[in-house]
Structure 1
């Protein structure tokens, strides 16, 4: 039986059960939950970086957004508050739309 030891989406156990396979899960305590959410964010970011089509990229971005939403909730916030913070930061410092690559700054 393969061992995964990773955080999965809420409906994955039901999907596995529907295939007739045996599996084991546990509910994480908050400290472990945040640890594995962070690990999952790296996994999904790696998958986004490896995406070979726009469709794949969008799917992986959706996974990252799901993780960001869960992290925001864990920190007592919401995706709307994260978006408001993003907008405020963009107003003050800009976004990444102009594709500016900083090479060096003189001391």
Structure 2
């Protein structure tokens, strides 16, 4: 039986069951959950980086958004609150629209 040892979406066990396969899961503690959610964010970001087509990239961005939703919920906030902070920082520090690449700063 292949071992995965990773956080999966809520319906994955049900989907596996429909294939007739057996599986083993367990509930994570809060400490384990945030650690595994962080690991999942890196996994999804790497999958985005590896995407070749626009469709693949959008699928991976959707997965990243699901992780962002979970992070917000974990921190007892909403995406609206996160978005307000994003806008505030964009006003104060800018966004990434100008594609500026900082090479160096004199000491």
TM-score by length of 2: 0.97
What's the offset of the Cα at 1:76? 1.1
C-alpha deviation, 1:17, in angstroms: 0.5
Q: What is the CA–CA distance in structure 2 between the aligned matches of 1:82 and 1:105, rounded to whole Å?
A: 30
Deviation at 1:80, TM superposition (A): 1.2
State the 1:19 CA deviation.
0.7
- Residue equivalent to 1:35: 35
Matched with 2:99 is: 99
Q: After the TM superposition, list the runs of 4 or more consecutive aligned residues in structure 1 that deviate by more than 2 angstroms.
A: none
Name the CA distance, whole Å, in 2 between partners of 1:99 and 1:60. 22
Counterpart CA distance in 2 for 1:14 and 1:80 is 31
Cα distance in 2 between the residues matched to 1:11 and 1:72: 20
After superposition, give the CA deviation of every residue in 1:6-31 in whole Å (9 maximum; x if it has no partner). 00000000000011100010111111
* TM-score (normalizing by structure 1): 0.97
Q: How many positions carry a matched residue from both structures?
A: 107
Report whether the alignment pairs 1:13 with 2:13: yes
Point out where structure 1 has 5 or more consecutive residues left out of the alignment. Answer: none
